Every structure is written in C-alpha cells, then in structure tokens.
Structure 1
Amino acid sequence: MQYDAQIQHGASHASTVSLTMNNPAIPQDEVRVSVVIPTYRGADTLPQLVEELSPFCTSGTTPGGLAYRISEIILVHDCGPDRSDLCLEQLAAKYSVVRPLWLSRNFGQHAATLAGMASAAGDWIVTLDEDGQQDPRDIARMLDMAINKSLQLVYAQPTNPPPHGFWRNTASRLVKTISVNVLGLESLGRFNSFRMVDGEVGRALAAYCGHGVYLDVGLSWVASRVGHCPVQVREELGRPSGYSLVKLIAHFWGLVLTTGTRPLRMITITGLLSILMAFGVAAWVLISKLYGDIPVQGWASLVIVVSFFSGAILMSLGVIAEYLAVTMGIAMGRPLYVISSKPSRRGPPA
C-alpha cells in the first residue's frame, strides 16, 4: 500500500561510524538516529515518552564511545479513538525534533510504521511503541551492537516477561517459535516491535512494500545480518493494550500469509506423502486380496483409487499454490534487489 507521506530523497547517508579512531574503514561522523512511533491511542503516554527521548536529541556518546544523536522523532498519527492529534500538535510545538505524520485513516501499526520509515532521514531508524514499555536508553546499546557487529537490523530481546499476562505472553512466544521453526524466518529470530534498522534498508523496504505485508517479514526480504540486544521491558504507561484477542489472531494470520512459499509447499508435501501412502495401501490391499482377507468385492480397487487420486489432487493444488506464491510476491512488492551506498560486510568474528 502506498501512503500519502512524503518520502525524503537526497544524498545517501553513511550508516556506519567507528567506535574507535583506529578503524579507517569506517567514517567518523556523528550518527543520526530517526525514531518512528506509530500512534493510535497515545494521548496519555506520548508526552512522557517524548520527554524521555529529548535528552538524546543533543550530541552524546554510546557506552562504546560512538557519537550519535536522535535527529528526529516521527509520530505517525494512525487515526485512533482518542485526541492523539492534539497531543502531536502540542509536542511538535514544544520540541523542534518532533515531526507529526498524518495518515488519512487508520491503516494499522505496521502500515503506520512503514509510513514513518519512508519519511525518516536518519542513518538508522528506530521503531518504538507508544505505550512506554520500551526504554529509550537502550537505543545506544543497540547502536553499539549494530556498528560493532556490522548488522543491518537489531531487535530488542526482552530478558523479563512483558507485562501482558501469562496467556498473552505464552501465545506470543508460541507465535515467534512457529515463525522461526515452521514459517522459515530463521534470519529474524525472535522479532520485536522495538527494532533498529539501517536507514537505507528501512527506506527501501518502505518504498517497495505492498498492502498487507507483515513488517518483519518484509525486513527479512532486505536484511540478512540480524542481531538481538538484551533489554528490560517496563510497565505500560497507564493504558491497556490496544490489541484484543481477535486482532492478535488477525495479526498472526497476516504473518502466515506473507511469509512466502513455505506454508504453500506444505500442500505439495502432503500430496506427495498421500501418494506414497497410496502405494503402501495398494500393496497391503493386494496382498490381503491374494490371501482372501477382503470379503467385500471392489473394496480393494476403491481404496487404491481414492488414495492415489487424493494425493495427486493435493500435489496439483500445491503446484497451483506455487504459482500463486509467485503472484503474491509480486503483488506484495517484494523487491528483486536493493542497492546500498556502502559495501555489505560480515561483522568481526565473535
């Protein structure tokens, strides 16, 4: 889906900066970080969150000695039920780094995040939730990890359970396990809405990504070097989660539908297994018939025909599904390639 947000073009930004002066291969400039916060119901939480971000909007250093600052805070208004619009206007008037971005209607968290990424101009883009669970102080450590290990994408990895309750936390862990072990998102691992992505990668994804694409699936298309930074999550800032059970199920289903061909190939594999089972059933039925263990006439041939053609139909559906997968990849806007202004290098050995 294309958004009516301005995509800022200009000279390419170098997004790697040396932590020490001893590495001439990495530029020594101050790193600019863009923070993108999709806003749905943040009237009560955004003022405190922006206030926590504001000290990092002046030049500072990470724990590893890297010079950086938050150059802009993009608040994407996703047309929620409260008066977040007034809050965004007030914050923009108070803080020069705050940039409101107005969507025409409610598009959802992932779409709003992509719209913000498309408008970001920083060397790195950080995405934060509006509820205040994620600590802005962790941005510096995530940046250190990204630079030190030459990563394109860094996810926050909570070391304590999120404050959502037992069942939701269990369901969240299950979904992420399925995404890695079943849907084939091994490169992402346990993804999180608190993420830091190379600015060029984020803007390229936002330019190509189509309607209905799960953001982290899209990131797996364009980022191959992914890391996870341990963080502590906090309590929400006085507001309940905006995700109901129905929304969470729809969220998971969107993840399944946009992961690519692996779920579709399960149909082909099931059909192949059915055909193999048909041969096994045929052998058993023929042997049973020779020894007179089948009293009903025609039962043997019926079982063989049903087993074989059921498998053949499933295999045929699998082939059709593969063609649909190609069409789906085109419709979702999966890029054929992404050009970077800097070489893609492996990080130093651990």
Structure 2
Amino acid sequence: MTRTVAVFGAGRIGRIHAANLAALPGVQVRYVCDPVADSAASLAQSVGAQVASIDDAVGDPAVEIVAITSPTDTHSELINRAAAARKHIFCEKPIDLSVPRAVACAEAVKAAGVACMIGFQRRFDPTFNEAKQRLAAGEIGEPEMLVITSRDPGAPPVHYLKASGGIFRDMLIHDFDVCRWILGDEVEWVSATGSCLVDPAIEEAGDIDTAAVTLRTKSGKLCQINTSRRAAYGYDQRFEVLGSKGLLACGNHRPSEVVQMDASGVHHDKPEHFFLQRYREAYRLEVAHFFECLQSGAPFRTTIADGVAAQKLADAASESWKSGQAVTL
C-alpha cells in the first residue's frame, strides 16, 4: 500500500521533511505547495513530485496525508483545511501563535476523525529518548527536577523574529514540551524573566534573546530552562534530570567523538553547529513513527493536545516575563 503525501512548504524544514518522506518505503510525495515558485519547483524535482496549489492538493482524493512545514502563521489554517478534507496531518510546531486558535484546530481535527501529529522532534532524538526510556524503567526512581540548557549558535534575522511570536513561542516551545514529556506531569506554575543581550535590534522588535524559566508541576516537580540566541561554540542542547535514586544527563552531540590529548591540552570537536545537524536523525525517526502509527493504529508520541499544552506554557511564560509576576495555570 502506497501512502500519498502533499507537502505544504518548501523552505528549510520542508526540505528536510520532504526528503525523509520520500525515502520511506511505501510513501509517495505527490505534491509540493509553496508560494515561492522556484523553491517549490526545486523541492518537487528533488523528491519526484509535482508543484501544485494548496486547493489542488487538498482536493485530490488520492492525497491521504498532508505535511505542513510552512511558516507558523499558516499552520492553523492549513490544519483546518486538511481536516475538512479528511486528510491525516503531520504539522511542524507550533499549531498557531494563538491558544484559542490552536484549541479550535484540535477540535476540528477531532471532529473530522483524522490523525494529527505535531513535530516536536526532540522526543525522537535517540539520546533524549533513551533517557525517557530509562526513566520509565525506574532506573533513577521518581523524577524530581529537570534542568534544560537550550542555546542557539546565533539569532535568526529580525524579520523572522517579528513574525515568530517571540522567543517563548518560537524557541522555548520545544523545551516546554520536553518538560511535560520528561517529568510526566502537567505544569501549574510558571515564572519567566529575560533580557536582550545579543542584539539591540531584537529588543526593538519587541522580543528578547536570553531567558530563564522556572516551572512547577502539579505534583511539585521542578524544571529550570536557560536559553540564549547566542552560543559561540555551537548548538548547545543538554538536559539533566534528577531522580530519587540518581541522575540522567544528556549531553551535546559532536561531529566526531575523537579526543586529542597533547602538550597543548585536550581537544575535541565543538557541538554540532545547528538544529538541522543536531536533530537530523530525530527528524527521520519522527516521520517514520508517524507512518508506523497510521499503519498500526497506535497513538502518536506527540499529539495535537501536546501542541496545545506547550502553547499554553509559552503564553504563560510570555505573560510572566512581561508582567514580572509568576503565572498560575
């Protein structure tokens, strides 16, 4: 059985997902849709697909699945259109910059009876997932505190940040999802603070580039997230979880694990440069998981409900930063 897919979005992340989809056995990327004609044509050619309008792709009864990899402000509309056409949906995070619209999307998906998975790829990272499996096996007892370090090597262009919804909705939303996933509990209290230390233009755009967030779950578990848009040494993605019987630490990935020791010191590679390198395997595994679950009927590891929950935490963090007060959910 061949599953036919339309990809909405031919940008950087769209290219990653389209290539991974095309490489899966039993999957055909039939259409690529993007308002930038050259980008759509280039990606379509690389995966053996056709360029089409969204109307044509959604209207084709042979298309069973849509992969939404377009800019954030288009996600909710495309989810709703796909659900109305009874297509299964894979959508990059976030669902929308508005929690009410995200909730409405979740309701539309449920009413349509279609499957929808949100692309929180960190749950599929082999290192992070190994930690989750060890937690589930009780190897360090009950998790009590999670500390997440999440730093980009550099800030994206200001024009991107203006449309991103801010650092909490754009960048930290992944970390909010990791918090819920690893601690296995819902957050009830959020305190966030931040500064603009990297680029004054980011502050002029109404955003920050450096943030610290503390979260407390309903059972009292704690999470601390520190993040920055600048890390001169590469893409810094680590966490450690402290449990009643021990600790699990997940470090950075490096291009190679060769360590050289000589008279000048001890040397090894810096961390992977950016998320496309750091999470290349996670992106491949998440789309494979999507199709495996469609085939078996098993639940997705990341659902649209997870997307809504992370969005609520992002909104709470943004409110806390702006008000200077903690937010209770």
TM-score, normalised with respect to structure 1: 0.25
| Larger Rg computed on CA atoms | 1
TM-score, normalised with respect to structure 2: 0.26
